[in-house]
Amino acid sequence: MIININGFVIVTDPAFDKEGSVYEGARTLYKTGSPKLQPEDIGPVDLVILSHDQHKDNLDNAGRAFIKTVKQVISTPDAVARLAQGNVTGLNEWESVEIATDKVPGLRITATPCQHAPTHEQTKISGHVIGFMIEWTGQQNGALYVSGDTIYFEGIEEIAKRFKVHTAVLHVGKAGFPLINYMPITFTTEMAIQTVQLMNVEKFIPTHFEGWKHFNEQPEYLYDQVTHSDIKEKLVWLQPGTPTVIEI
């Protein structure tokens, strides 16, 4: 996803490889859709926020090449060590970094907790994953939250206590694998609705729910469930490659 705040351009979890790409591993991943945009379509990028580097659906091969070209990447301390390139800043949960830019006064990014596994114990398998709270001076009605890969767990409730969120970008799709009986390792639609209600956000933007074989809830299901729920007026359904304007 591309976020443009007054000309300051942020890319989240960059994946630019084409449909049909296969990534062999303990859990082999299959890409079933191509991204609408390539780095050359986006233009200059000020910042990448990378939930985690260890999974190809968050950082694929072209995404890995891309993040070498941007000024700053914010991710986990583990990503700093593994990527071993000078432009990566690592944050642990609740740590913040201030970004000096004339375009967005007071821009601050805070790492939020994730549980990218069915249980807390299984996060040893997923590795460290973070989400992001994006704040700047002049926000009228709360912050911009990008969940990263997580399910609903007590950390989400802690985020809701600490921050007033205006817009929540949630990684939905119910990612899961046969080995763990398809138990969710990212938000199900139901968990996303629960989060939107808990945080009482104005806008809900689903992301990270299509283009990969391991996403176990289809976009049609997500759309149908949300538009038949009491949060339906909060839904912002993005169209790939088409900008949507939101006042935060």
**110 or 126: CB nearest Zn ion:** 126
Rounded to the nearest whole angstrom, what is the least distance from the CB of residue 183 to Zn ion in the complex? 14
Virtual CA dihedral for 182, 183, 188, 190, nearest 10 degrees? 120
Q: Is 223 helix (H, G, I), strand (E, B) or coil?
A: helix
The footprint of Zn ion (CB under 5 A) covers 55, 149
φ, ψ of residue 169 to 5 degrees: the values are -100, 110
Rounded to the nearest whole angstrom, what is the least distance from the CB of residue 224 to Zn ion in the complex? 25
Distance, CA of 134 to CA of 77 (rounded, Å): 19
- Taking phi over 0 as left and psi of -120 to 50 as alpha, with beta for the rest, 180 belongs to alpha
Rounded to the nearest whole angstrom, what is the least distance from the CB of residue 36 to Zn ion in the complex? 21
Q: Is 204 helix (H, G, I), strand (E, B) or coil?
A: strand
CA terminus-to-terminus distance, the chain: 17
**5 or 180: CB nearest Zn ion:** 180
Rounded to the nearest whole angstrom, what is the least distance from the CB of residue 52 to Zn ion in the complex? 6
Distance, CA of 201 to CA of 108 (rounded, Å): 19
**94 or 177: CB nearest Zn ion:** 177
Rounded to the nearest whole angstrom, what is the least distance from the CB of residue 157 to Zn ion in the complex? 22
Q: Is 83 helix (H, G, I), strand (E, B) or coil?
A: helix
